[in-house]
Chain A
Amino acid sequence: MNNCLIKGGRVIDPARNLDEVADVWILDGRIKAVEPNLSPPSDPFLIEAHNQWVCPGLIDIHVHLREPGQEYKEDLESGLTAAVAGGFTAVLAMPNTSPPLDQAPLIAGLRAKAQSLPGARLYLAAAMTRGRLGQELTEYQDLRLAGAKAVTDDGSWVSDSQVMRRVLDYAKVCSLPALSHAQDPLLSKGGAIYEGRMSTRLGLPGIPAQAEEIAVFRDIALVELTGNPVHICHLSTAKAVNLIRAAKAKGLPVTAETAPHYLFLTDEAVGDYDSRAKMNPPLGTIEDQKALREGLLDGTITIIASDHAPHSSLEKEVEFIEAAFGIIGLETSLPLILELTREINLTPSLLVELMSRNPAKLLGLPGGTLTPGGPADITVIDPELEFVYEAAKGYSKSRNTPFEGRKFKGRAVLTLVEGEIRYRYPTLAS
């Protein structure tokens, strides 16, 4: 019944080393064929993609959807809808909800609910430790069978090295990637932004960049000890990039992601106490930004994830020190990285690796490629389409973003999940 042909687009599929104009034929929710000038026998629904990029569906492995517990900020429906509007066909939601996702029934319940929702596919990370308290392991096997795709205590670092050692050992046994929010909690305690000229000027308590460096170093040491992999979330400093690069050179199974805001903003964005530029980890210096960009190009950082963290004005329109950490990002992530393809030597093919193929590989998800037989999760990008971003017109329930009013060039215009159109940019001709 589902029979569709995306015609004449630039098909970018680094998994198959493909970057050429071709047609993509979708049948019954799966990729049937990817070849130039296809003419399927039956009469397929035609999507004209001339001058557009046809990519495997983008996957954002770091989002906060706030359900259960803080549905006034975001819920599964609004979050998954914002995801497809930003070009993502799947997301990995973090477990720092209320209650935290530390038991199988919570995972199963959310997955069941998401089945009937219209947006992106929902994958869930389970808490690494009970209550996210960093003390006792959760039941990884049970969580995995309920559908969890990773374990993490995101928002906090497991600072007890003995516990983290057990986490890495046991996560490996249960085939769940371990994602670490690497930040020393005592060195960063009470801090609002990174320590530097900006924190001095504003009189705000600072977080030394070493808070990230120390934690990344410890995590890498435990990888060396156990032989088991770790994935470092939202890298934000040059120091941490250097550590990851050195660990990879040694052949250690360490991977890392960064978020678009670290690639574009510095602590100067805080300006006159603008809480929309307050996130954790905080914005770094221009040197940090350069190092992160280099890390993307040389393969040190293999994933871009938004760290979409919705908050309402109740948490944000307050004294800076009291304001919650986090910004939304699902609908600005791809446009920002498209901007990066024009600024530095980040090819469209590398973009697809960073935002689709590598995320799928890390979590063992279907997708990340347009290989025939695979699910028809597809993102069509118009790299030339210009628009002004307004959070109020977006799909997230929250508006906490430092990119409000930014002029973008390029965005997702069509998002298909299992061959079904889940998002279409309003002005796109049908």
Chain B
Amino acid sequence: MYSENLAWPKDLIDLDGLSAAHLNAILDAADAFREVSEREIKKVPTLRGKLVVLFFHENSTRTRLSFEIAAKRLSADTLAIASSGSSMAKGETLLDTAKNIEAMAPDALVIRHAAAGAPSFLAKRLRCPVLNAGDGAHAHPTQALLDLLTIRRHKAQIAGLKVAIIGDIAHSRVARSNMIGLKTLGAKIAVAGPPSMMARGLAEEYGAAVFHRPEPALEGADVVIMLRIQLERQSGQLFPGAREYARVYGLNKTRLALAKPEALILHPGPVNQGVEMTPEVYQCPQSLILEQVTNGVAARMALLYLLVDNPEKPKGLSL
């Protein structure tokens, strides 16, 4: 199930450099790590003595927690640097931060940053693996991997599935990384959202079918990924308001009926209930939003396991 022969990149900036074999190997490992999370003692010694620095330069609760839990379940030491508590608030540059982090000799750096490209900026300057926990509107590869894991645990295979992604595609790192991963694994992608939330070249770049109304994207879909709307930042500019958005794009029972009966519903969270989807849809059995959170820990354990240099790394996946 897990191939020893794959060469792994130093960093995980996005999913674009990874083949289907790589993605499947990560998902296989994540499947195995899910089992660790179900044990009474939820810990393996894989990364004992390793230091994982969590550098979150943008607010995040669940991604930070998820990475922290993942690292701890692998027995790594974790150190969280938040932007407000660090010298970033005192005007330290990203370059200074990179040099200082390098001087602490961590074994992995997890970074969340508001600026697209910040993880790759650090990756070029640090010896340790850099794991992107979300950069601007660019990429959120671990979110995409946990989405792929969630889909794969419920569907026989990802190839051939129709996946609808609905919402603010232009400003969504989740959408971008998901489109790359889904394309690599052979899914058919349909995106929908108001024109103000669509980026240029989605068809050419990701092979996505682009719609401005949700209905054609939902029709016959096997999976529906609803994106979070940034109500506070975008209301009035990109769309008239939450009420209007919910009317035209929100997922309700009527619209959901356009998808296949057993269609899965995903959302990166936190959900604006009543906007992206009705509470009824949020709570229905097809909604896997909380399972995504559980899978997130497993996916991040798999990545840390695969990318952090560890001479004691067990052969295969005998945990």
Contact with A along B125-138 (1 / 0, CB 8 A): 00000000001111
Q: How far is the CA of A347 from the CA of B62 in the complex (A)?
A: 62
Q: How far is the CA of A197 from the CA of B204 in the complex (A)?
A: 8
Q: Would you give the shortest CB distance from B309 to chain A, in whole angstroms? A: 23
Q: How far is the CA of A205 from the CA of B95 in the complex (A)?
A: 22
Are B205 and A201 within 8 A (Cβ)?
Answer: yes
A206 at interface, CB cutoff 8 A: yes
Binds B, one of A37-45, A76-84, A160-168, A318-326: A318-326
Are B138 and A319 within 8 A (Cβ)?
Answer: no
Chain A residue at minimum C-beta to C-beta distance from B204: A197
Are A203 and B116 within 8 A (Cβ)?
Answer: yes
Residue in A196, A313, A314, A321 whose beta carbon sits within 8 Å of that of B136 in the complex: A321
Contact (A200, B115) CB under 8 Å given A318-B95, A319-B121, A321-B136 = no
Are B94 and A195 within 8 A (Cβ)?
Answer: no
Q: How far is the CA of A203 from the CA of B121 in the complex (A)?
A: 15
The residues of A that contact B94 with a CB separation of less than 8 Å are 318-319
B117 at interface, CB cutoff 8 A: yes
A362 at interface, CB cutoff 8 A: no
The residues of A that contact B199 with a CB separation of less than 8 Å are 199-200
Q: How far is the CA of A160 from the CA of B209 in the complex (A)?
A: 41
Contact (A203, B113) CB under 8 Å given A196-B200, A196-B201, A319-B118 = no
Contact (A202, B205) CB under 8 Å given A318-B93, A318-B95 = no
Q: How far is the CA of A318 from the CA of B115 in the complex (A)?
A: 10
B78 at interface, CB cutoff 8 A: no
Residue in A203, A317, A319 whose beta carbon sits within 8 Å of that of B173 in the complex: A203
Which residues of chain B from 155 to 208 have a CB within 8 Å of any chain A CB? 170, 173, 176, 199-202, 204-205
Are B139 and A203 within 8 A (Cβ)?
Answer: yes
Q: How far is the CA of A272 from the CA of B199 in the complex (A)?
A: 19
Contact with B along A299-342 (1 / 0, CB 8 A): 00000000000000110011111100000000000000000000
From A199, A202, A204, A321, name the one whose CB has the most chain B CB atoms within 10 angstroms.
A202
Are A202 and B116 within 8 A (Cβ)?
Answer: yes
Chain A residue at minimum C-beta to C-beta distance from B139: A203
Residue in B93, B121, B202 whose beta carbon sits within 8 Å of that of A273 in the complex: B121
Contact (A197, B201) CB under 8 Å given A203-B176, A319-B117 = yes
Q: How far is the CA of A191 from the CA of B104 in the complex (A)?
A: 35
Give the bracket for the number of chain A residues in contact with chain B.
20 to 34
The residues of B that contact A202 with a CB separation of less than 8 Å are 116-117, 138
Q: How far is the CA of A48 from the CA of B185 in the complex (A)?
A: 66
Contact (A204, B116) CB under 8 Å given A319-B94, A319-B121 = yes
Residue in B93, B95, B121, B200 whose beta carbon sits within 8 Å of that of A206 in the complex: B200
Are B115 and A320 within 8 A (Cβ)?
Answer: yes
Which residues of chain B from 95 to 109 have a CB within 8 Å of any chain A CB? 95
Chain A residue at minimum C-beta to C-beta distance from B198: A200
Q: How far is the CA of A200 from the CA of B121 in the complex (A)?
A: 18
Residue in A197, A273, A317 whose beta carbon sits within 8 Å of that of B116 in the complex: A273
B120 at interface, CB cutoff 8 A: yes
Q: How far is the CA of A397 from the CA of B97 in the complex (A)?
A: 25
Q: How far is the CA of A313 from the CA of B125 in the complex (A)?
A: 15
Which residues of chain A from 186 to 235 have a CB within 8 Å of any chain B CB? 195-197, 199-206
Q: Would you give the shortest CB distance from A209 to chain B, in whole angstroms? A: 11
Q: Would you give the shortest CB distance from A395 to chain B, in whole angstroms? A: 26
Q: Would you give the shortest CB distance from A211 to chain B, in whole angstroms? A: 14
Which residues of chain A from 24 to 77 have a CB within 8 Å of any chain B CB? none
The residues of A that contact B139 with a CB separation of less than 8 Å are 203
Q: Would you give the shortest CB distance from B114 to chain A, in whole angstroms? A: 8
Are B116 and A200 within 8 A (Cβ)?
Answer: no
Which residues of chain A from 152 to 200 have a CB within 8 Å of any chain B CB? 195-197, 199-200
Q: Would you give the shortest CB distance from B219 to chain A, in whole angstroms? A: 25
Q: How far is the CA of A202 from the CA of B173 in the complex (A)?
A: 10
Contact (A272, B200) CB under 8 Å given A203-B138, A203-B139, A318-B94 = no
Are A199 and B200 within 8 A (Cβ)?
Answer: yes
Contact (A203, B136) CB under 8 Å given A273-B117, A317-B95 = yes
Are A319 and B113 within 8 A (Cβ)?
Answer: yes
Q: Would you give the shortest CB distance from B53 to chain A, in whole angstroms? A: 18
Contact (A200, B117) CB under 8 Å given A317-B95, A318-B93, A319-B94 = no
Are B201 and A321 within 8 A (Cβ)?
Answer: no
Q: How far is the CA of A201 from the CA of B116 in the complex (A)?
A: 10
The residues of A that contact B201 with a CB separation of less than 8 Å are 196-197, 200
The residues of B that contact A205 with a CB separation of less than 8 Å are 137
21 A–B contacts, CB within 8 A, in A order: A195-B200, A197-B205, A199-B200, A200-B200, A200-B202, A200-B205, A202-B117, A203-B176, A204-B117, A204-B136, A204-B137, A204-B138, A206-B200, A273-B120, A313-B95, A314-B93, A319-B115, A319-B121, A320-B116, A321-B116, A322-B115
Can you list the 10 inter-chain pairs with the closest CB atoms, starting with the nearest? A203-B138, A273-B117, A319-B115, A203-B137, A197-B201, A200-B199, A203-B116, A320-B117, A321-B115, A200-B201
Additional A-B contacts beyond A203-B173, A204-B136 (7; CB < 8 A): A196-B201, A200-B205, A201-B205, A203-B116, A272-B120, A273-B120, A319-B94
